[in-house]
Structure 1
């Protein structure tokens, strides 16, 4: 009798375990997809920070400055952002701190180093 009870519980238990494993795999895949999309957004922002698109199209100053401000929305990539911001700050050291691009750089650097 006990063997019959055990056997009758094995099928639903196996189905529940299979469902949970599938659910965890789906959640993990979804999490990686979200992380990948977020990195692609970060990469696009940095492309705009450079002042050019991947095709070489020159961007207007406001788009470049907006991209710098956008970098503050990616604190998980601050270790990548800060050295590049410092590079651009060094490149623009002769400019007035109130220039649009330099002001954006200073703001982003301050936000990311907090």
Structure 2
């Protein structure tokens, strides 16, 4: 995974960098490393905010919520979940997307 992330980061396209960190965070969480997952999702979230990419921001907040829940931080997880859902709502994304995100985040408690 490290080499793949390196390649994506070398492309110098911020939206791809966000996506790469989000995927890396998901993988780290699946591998049982919520601390590393949180770091990747936080990096993606910070970059998404900086470039004004609300879609990546919403997904990164959702991932950070799952990682926070896995780290035993339910209040933080809930705040990230609310942020994610608010962003999805503001973008008018389909109910299926909101439901998927809501269910994933709820599973972290």
Using the size of structure 2 for normalisation, the TM-score is 0.40
Using the size of structure 1 for normalisation, the TM-score is 0.39
Structure of greater Rg: 1
